[in-house]
Structure 1
């Protein structure tokens, strides 16, 4: 994998939890019980991470980077998958992780958000 920092970066998010979903053969990163990132493989077992992005930003990334595709097994409007052996710059992938985390965090109830961020 080209991004050795990926796991630690996802786990470093405030309130982030990590689990492994056996049925999906995928590692999930959650906030408040909701997934903000999923690391697994495509139908050919090629390593990917799937993240939630604003639709316009996601479409732009798909145009700019061949290794960003519509979310694998996810809502294609909001989720994007990044091939982990590709050429997406670290700062762009971190931006995608940050956006996904913030998007899912903001979808939680205000009470739950306060429990997480204090």
Structure 2
């Protein structure tokens, strides 16, 4: 399986937590209580990593790579699944993970964004 580094890459992002959803047999990645990625399998058990992306970017990637498809069992406009046995370059996969994380981070309140970044812990200037 390719992309063994992807779990650690997502977990190294500020404020990310993961859990396991037994009913879906999937590992989910959250920021601020909202999911931005999920690792599981398709209906045939092939391993996939699904990420939330801006619709135009996701559509572009699906046209470029046969191993990126509309999000399996997710909203097909916003979610994209990457087959983990595929041949998408690592830098493209990192960019997908970065953009998925940022897409969800930007939907959070400014207060939560500051808490996640640690900026609210800095002493205020006087």
In the alignment, structure 1 segments of 5+ residues that lack a partner are none
- Show the counterpart of 2:123: none
Q: Which runs of 4+ in 1 moved over 6 A?
A: none
Q: Distance in 1 between matches of 2:94 and 2:64?
A: 16
1:94 and 2:125 are equivalent in the alignment = no
Scaled by the length of structure 1, the TM-score of the pair is 0.97
In the alignment, structure 2 segments of 5+ residues that lack a partner are 119-126
Scaled by the length of structure 2, the TM-score of the pair is 0.91
Larger relative helix fraction = 1
RMSD: 0.7
- Show the counterpart of 2:121: none
**Cα shift at 1:117:** 0.7
Larger radius of gyration between Structure 1 and Structure 2: 2
Q: Distance in 2 between matches of 1:22 and 1:34?
A: 18
Deviations 1:42-90 (CA, angstroms, capped at 9, x unpaired): 0001000000111111111111100000001111111100000000100
1:105 and 2:105 are equivalent in the alignment = yes
SS at match of 2:106: helix
